[in-house]
Structures are given as structure tokens and as C-alpha cells.
Amino acid sequence: MGRITSFADLMGMIKDKASQGKAALVSSHTKSKTVSFHLSVLRATTHDPSTPPGNRHLAVLLSAGTGSRATAASAVESIMERLHTTRDACVALKSLIIIHHIVKHGRFILQDQLSVFPASGGRNYLKLSGFRDEKSPLMWELSSWVRWYALYLEHLLSTSRIMGFFISSTSSTIHKEEYEEMVSSLTNSDLLREIDALVGLLEEACKIPDLPFSGGKSLADKITHLVGEDYVSSINELYTRLNEFKERSNTLSFGDMIELVCALKRLESCKERLSEICHGNWKRGWIDGFWGLVLEVKGIIGNLEDNYGQIEKSIVGFGTREKRYESARFTDRLIIGYGDAVRFSSGRFSSVDRFNFPVSGGRL
């Protein structure tokens, strides 16, 4: 526990001790997995703004993915109950960090329970758009982080549903050949849909609040690091899809070109802010190579038509594509089978020096 600087800190510490003591007492009289997960959630989501959830408690919660579906559901229910009942910004942020860890490191059975919770869902299923903690200036600052982080995670879950796997997940790995075949089998419409979702996720990442002045830096740093990893995974996915469009450039319709240019312009508007978020944490040359591809694809599209200005004018009227972040519960998209797919076979993958980054993700 960090240094007590106010009456609110003292009350938070008392609440943590009381709730953990009660849960530990119940746990000692029962072997219920639900009680065990509840205790781990309480220990991982203290009121202390100086410490993010501990690795030991995160490991216990992630272990729910090795059991039955009922076990996984019990763990997710404990996390969501903690998130939805607290009025403390630190507790809410730590609960959201746990959710982010499940997306990144949880096994599929655990991720799947998270992606469908609650079953009746809808927009803002994390229900934190109106979150306010007015106990102190720090809690007020961290409240803006809670509201943004909850919305970001909703975008992450929705984008993962569109993509067909959890972005930046380490739970499973797709073989490179299988992955490249899958991407080459997608229609232009599906590729544009996925690019639109990925760009939308990066746009939401750019809205990350400034670091709080009153404290809580360790929580903000933890969240920023997790979002930075998502950024790397997202541009890895975008790289593959933009390279695919580069190979298909001569087959693109005028409408496809407009949508692609719209997405690229939105993407470029994120570049500066994303570089601030990820400064010093990632290989600069690696990321610069991606932005070079963005410029290259824009240039190819521009060279296809003498009336490139007509595309630019069309973009003004076209606007950005409608966001499809309905929730993580919308119906799965129709996946085109390899037998029915429109293939764009060529030697492009043998000649392209794709980023040396593992293609991973738990399949939805």
C-alpha cells in the first residue's frame, strides 16, 4: 500500500482490508472457485493509486482459462461485478487492466466469456461513460482515464470480433502461410472493413488522456504500455492488408479507392499522437517502415488515375466510413471459405519483407 496522504486513502485501505478479510474467511470454509477468483480480484484491485494489479493475482485469474467454461465464466463475472459496483477510480482502472490482460494473455475459453459478457449487451456494455469519482483531484483526473479506457477496450473487443481473432493476443499463433492465405482470400470489401476497424481502434488510442498531475503515474504507465503493444499489433495487421491492396491496385474499383484513401488519411492523422504514446518503447525503424508503406499505397492509387483530384473531391462528400463498433456481441461476419474465395495469387509474399513480428491471436 502506498503512503497514506488523505482521509480518502485511509478509508480505501480500510475497505480493502475489510473486503479481503471477509472473502478470505469465506474462502477458508469453502473450496468454491468463485470465492477464490473473487478474492484474487479484490487483491488485484485495491484502492491504492501507486500500484497496478500484481502479476501473482493476474496469474490466478488467467488460470481460469485452463478450466471449464463455467470456471472461466465465474472469473469474468467476478471481474465485471467489481468493475460495475465500484465508485473508486483506482479500482475501476485496475479492473479494466485485468480485462485488457485477459484479451492479451488469456486462453480462448476465458477470452470468449469476456467477449460475450453480458449476453444481452449493447453499446457501452462496460457502462462507464458517466463514471465520476470526486473524492479528490487525483480521482477526478483518473475518472477521465476510466471513461476513455472502457471505451477503448470496447473498441478493442469489437475490432477483434470483426477481425476474427483477439488483436495482440499471445494465446495462440497462426502459421504464416495459413495467415497469408487467409488474407489473400478476403474480398476487397472485407479487407476494407477490417482496415476501417483497425484504424478506428488507433483513432481511439489517440484519445488517451494526458498523464495525471496529482499521482497515479504507475497506473497510467501500465495502461499506456498495454495500448502501445496493441498499436504494434494493429499496424502489423494493417501492413499485411495494405500490402495486399498494393498487389490488387489494378483491380480496385473507384469506390474501393475512395474508401482506401479515406482510411489512409485517417491513419496518417494518428501518426504524431501514436508516436507520442509509444516513444522509446518500440523499434523506430520497424514502425517507420509501416508508415512508408502507407505513403507508397497512397502514391500507387494516385498514379492509377489522372483524375486523382476527383478522388479527393469524392472523399469530401463520402466522409469516413460508418463505424461498426456495435459491441462485442454482434453476429460473426460471414467468413468466405477457401473453396469459395476469390484468390489473388502471385509471388508477392515470397518477395515482401514482412515485419518480423509474430502473427498471433485467439480465434473467435
| CATH number of the structural domain spanning residue 228 | 1.25.40.90
* Burial class of residue 352 (count of CB atoms within 10 Å of its CB; 0-12, 13-18, 19+): middle
Does 324 map to a domain?
Answer: no
Count CB atoms within 10 A of the CB of residue 292. Answer: 10
What pLDDT does residue 185 have? Answer: 92
pLDDT band at 178 (very low <50, low <70, confident <90, very high): confident
The average pLDDT across 70-90 equals 91
Altogether, the residues listed in the chain come to a count of: 364
Stronger pLDDT, 74 or 202, i.e. the higher one: 202
Write out pLDDT tens, residues 214-242.
788 999 999 999 999 999 999 999 999 99
In a domain, 223, yes or no: yes
pLDDT, residue 154, reads 92
**Can you list the alpha helix ranges (DSSP code H) found in the chain?**
7-28, 33-44, 55-62, 69-85, 89-105, 108-115, 137-163, 176-185, 188-205, 217-247, 254-277, 284-304, 308-318, 348-351
Is the predicted pLDDT of residue 1 greater than 80, yes or no? no
Whole-Å CA distances, 15 to 10, 46, 80, 112, 223 = 9, 9, 19, 32, 24
For the four alpha carbons of 118, 119, 122 and 123, in that order, the dihedral sign comes to positive
pLDDT digits (tens, 9 = 90+) for 205-217: 999 999 888 788 9
- Using left for φ > 0, alpha for ψ between -120 and 50, and beta otherwise, residue 122 falls in left
In a domain, 132, yes or no: yes
**Crossing angle between the packed helical segments 89-105 and 137-163, to the nearest 10 degrees:** 20
Across 112-122, average pLDDT: 65
Q: Is the residue at 357 inside a domain? A: no
Confidence at residue 324, expressed as pLDDT on a 0 to 100 scale:
44
Q: Is the pLDDT of residue 349 over 70?
A: no
pLDDT value for 276: 86
pLDDT at 87 over 70: yes
Q: What is the pTM of this model?
A: 0.78
Answer whether residue 284 is part of any domain. yes
What does the pLDDT read at residue 357? Answer: 45
Is 104 within a domain? yes
Q: Can you tell me whether residue 1 is helix, strand or coil?
A: coil
Residue 152's domain comprises 8-116+125-313
Give mean pLDDT, residues 7-16: 50
35-49, 53-67, 159-173: the lowest-pLDDT one? 159-173
Q: Judge whether 355 lies within some domain.
A: no
Residue 352 within a domain: no
Question: What's the domain count of the chain?
Answer: 1
The rounded distance, in Å, linking the Cα atoms of 4 and 302 is 60
